[in-house]
Structure 1
Amino acid sequence: MRRHSGFGWLELIIGILLVILGIWALAAPGIALKSMVFAYGLAAVIMGIADIVLFIEVDRYTGLGPVIALVSGILSVMSGIMLLVYPTAGALVLTLLFPIWFIAHCMSRLSHLGYIRLVCGDGVYYFTMIIHIIGLILGFLMLFSPLLTFTSIHYFASAYLILLGIDSMVTAMSPMGTRR
């Protein structure tokens, strides 16, 4: 039986929370925007922390962590805190922050693809690559079409949070999440 490292457990917990959050947001479309702002603020903080931890783990393993992971992690944490502290302003700014968060997170995860392929193998590599390329496309689509973002953010966010959760769980169960 493989023992999971602290990183593996963190990714697994994050994955489960993101899937639950995505299903909850999809199942309850009538929830007030303020609640969504809070939920996505919390998700941004959690995922930002995961990006920072991933930077540290990659740096420890290879000696050279992708700086973009650290930067996007810090931006995710800052965006999440802003959404949690100022939910009313967050509801208005969400149409701009959410696409930026999508893009930053996807770029961060794409910057680790070499490490993911080395440690986890081709299956996790391609799965991660496809999910985050889709996320980049959605992020840019939402960024350049604020009306689309405002009217459909609920569906984009719900579906993508579920995909991010699955990606985190797959990563946690891969060799990357095991203790060496």
Structure 2
Amino acid sequence: MSNQTRVRKAVFPVAGLGTRFLPATKASPKEMLPVVDKPLIQYAVEEAYEAGIRDMVFVTGRSKRAIEDHFDTAYELENELEQAGKQAMLELVRSISPADMNCLFVRQPRSLGLGHAVLCAEPLVGNEPFAVILADDLMVGENGGPGVMAQMTAAFQKQGRSLLAVQEVPLEQT
């Protein structure tokens, strides 16, 4: 497997206004909405990481600073947990952004849609294969199997072609 056929970067278009989730998203990014004990965006990043992707490219917009803060090192918090002897909690906080994971941020200057957001990632992605993950579309592997992104990267390595994951939704749920 050559590096050229391996997906090493994931693009997360997170610049949108989250209007479908109003009023919950009026002051908080929809990607930071919690599902059980983690924000949506963390599930998406974990899925990419599980698939072997280590470069996470976030295309952000105004009022999305919470996403950057979430994946940044929180020295003060880590120090507080360490001083309090809360080792399990400290490890949990550190696991949000593993040492071998790179978080890169680029701003979408104007809200011109999903395609434009992905295009804004071009300077960070270059001419290599990459994944696009929509954090508000939470998908999990069946029966504890590999996640959707792991399945897609494996298929890409075999086929070397662009792939698109879809999920059938009953008409009454649309």
Which TM-score applies when normalising by structure 2?
A: 0.29
Which TM-score applies when normalising by structure 1?
A: 0.28
Q: Which protein is bigger by CA-based radius of gyration?
A: 2
Structure 1 or 2: larger strand share?
2
Structure 1 or 2: larger helix share?
1
